[in-house]
Amino acid sequence: MSNISPEFKLIADWIAPNSRVLDLGCGDGALLSHLIERHDITGYGMEIDATKTIAAMNKGLNVIHSDLNRHDITHYFDESSFDYVIMTQALQVVSRPDELLDEMLAIGKQSIITFPNFGHWRNRAQLMFGGRMPETETLPYHWFDTPNIHMCTFKDFEKLCAEKGIEVVARTVVNSEHRSTLSMSIAPNLMGEVALYKIQRKK
């Protein structure tokens, strides 16, 4: 059995067997390998890092070396080519996350997205009391070297989905160790550090 991160395990629980899956920013292909092994999926990946692309291809995976900011995934794949399009911890680093969501839901029936919550209470506290941009376990960068260019809260994301006619099918809110607590279910935007969303176009 493949060894994967807690976040990947949560995602895998949402994937039906024998599905068609595209993993955007697939890295070395750890999630795809697990899904192929445990869920018998047909998988493809896209990755900008050439070293990680080669590592994934060495595992026998179908991976395209590409930059998500080029907005070309609809050029590679036809409409509804996949059951799921996955993007983990990358929504906040792309240039136009709103346009990328449209592309993901054009080629996939559903999308699974994970990202850190800028509205978590520790981030609010650092800004309010320290007067500095937050640095936490889920947001470990300095303001000047962070790859995160579009930080958002869970409320921001859900508002964008509502405006674009996107339905939130499922949501899991967890801490940095990918565990959920009662406080997160009561006040997810304040207490949750990372969210996993499964979304689709409203029917």
pLDDT mean by block of 10 residues, the chain; 203 residues: 82 97 96 96 95 96 92 89 96 91 96 90 79 75 72 92 96 88 86 93 89
Please name every residue paired with 46 in a beta bridge, in sequence order, or none if there are none. 24, 64
Q: What domains appear along the chain, each with residue ranges and CATH number?
A: 6-117+149-201 (3.40.50.150)
Tell me what pLDDT residue 2 has.
Answer: 57
SS3 78: coil
Q: Which residue has the tokens 């889920």?
A: 138
pLDDT of residue 1: 42
Q: Residue 21: its pLDDT value, please?
A: 98
**Predicted local confidence at residue 148, as pLDDT:** 67
Burial class (CB in 10 A: 0-12, 13-18, 19+), 177: exposed
